[in-house]
């Protein structure tokens, strides 16, 4: 018995859409990371990009549980002295909802070349409108 390994010629990429309105940020991010990685497929191959494209809409209406809205901090550093920028989740949700969801998903992807390749297949929109209508994405429900 041989183990099946997917290759670039046999991979079939689908398009999925996730509506994040009223859903918890972590639940949305884990579902998106699973779809991007391809772990929902029986032909999952760890070293290959066998995942699907993911569109997340209504990122500005995502839910955070507990006191994370005020306590959770996002940090950036420019590399220069005094270049640390701190923002809490409330500010991120108001001004940069796409970046907040993208960071959550990116943290769940593998680090390295494969993770960077998978990250390019993620599309996040703050509102309900999106550009990939022609791809006819399949609606993915989050329990």
Residue 71 CB neighbours (<10 A): 11
- What are the structural domains of the chain? 15-63+114-140 (3.90.1180.10)
Cβ neighbours of residue 40 under 8 Å, at least 6 residues apart?
34
| pLDDT reported for residue 60 | 96
Give the whole-number percent of the chain exceeding pLDDT 70. Answer: 100
What's the DSSP call for residue 140?
A: E
pTM (predicted TM-score): 0.93
pLDDT higher than threshold 90 for residue 4: no
57 vs 139: CA distance, rounded Å: 11
Q: Which residues does 52 contact at the CB level (< 8 Å), separation at least 6? A: 13, 14, 15, 16, 35, 36, 38, 121
Q: pLDDT, tens digit, for every residue of 61-106?
A: 999 999 999 999 999 999 999 999 999 999 999 999 999 999 999 9
């Amino acid at each position: 018995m041989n183990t099946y390994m997917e290759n670039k010629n046999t991979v079939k990429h689908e398009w999925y859409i996730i509506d994040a309105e009223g859903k918890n940020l972590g639940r949305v991010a884990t579902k998106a990371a699973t779809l991007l990685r391809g772990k929902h497929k029986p032909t999952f191959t760890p070293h290959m990009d066998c995942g699907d494209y993911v569109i997340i809409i209504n990122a500005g209406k995502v839910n955070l549980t507990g006191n994370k809205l005020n306590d959770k901090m996002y940090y950036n550093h420019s590399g220069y002295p005094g270049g640390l920028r701190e923002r809490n989740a409330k500010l991120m949700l108001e001004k940069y909802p796409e970046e907040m969801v993208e960071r959550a998903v990116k943290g769940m992807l593998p680090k390295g070349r494969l993770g960077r390749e998978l990250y390019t297949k993620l599309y996040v929109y703050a509102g309900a409108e999106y550009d990939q209508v022609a791809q006819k994405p399949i609606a993915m429900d989050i329990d």
